[in-house]
Amino acid sequence: MAEIKPRISVEYAEKATIISFTDEKILEESDIKALQDSIMSVVEQTERINLILDFGNVRFLSSAVLGLLIRLSKRIYEHDGQLKLCNITPKIFEIFKITRLTKTFDIYKDVEGAVEDLS
């Protein structure tokens, strides 16, 4: 039987909640569903969340992840929160550029930069 490991790690900092993805590849529909459930449960716990998603470990992701990010950002903005993305590899950043999601999301080099820019 395959070992089920957590897909994210959550850290509560002073100004933000930081979620780091633990998988290198986020490709399978079941993985994305599990991610959505995990992240949404963190978002629902806080009225006005400042969320930073750290993609430091991620090397590959499917387009379905982009849909998840869009749903997530909509949910966070409805609750007057902020969403920042960071540590995105150049290859994945290309996907964000091609799909024009660089205009939708605030993307930072690292967690520190994202935290500094929270209002």
Tell me 94's DSSP state.
H
Half-sphere exposure of 32 (CA within 13 A, CB side): 16
* Domain ranges within the chain, ordered by starting residue: 8-116
pLDDT in tens, 85-100: 999 999 999 999 999 9
pLDDT bin (cut points 50, 70, 90) of residue 6 is: low
**Superfamily name with CATH number, domain 8-116:** STAS domain (3.30.750.24)
| Cα gap 116→118, rounded to integer Å | 6
pLDDT in tens, 19-74: 999 999 999 999 899 999 999 999 998 889 999 999 999 999 999 999 999 999 99
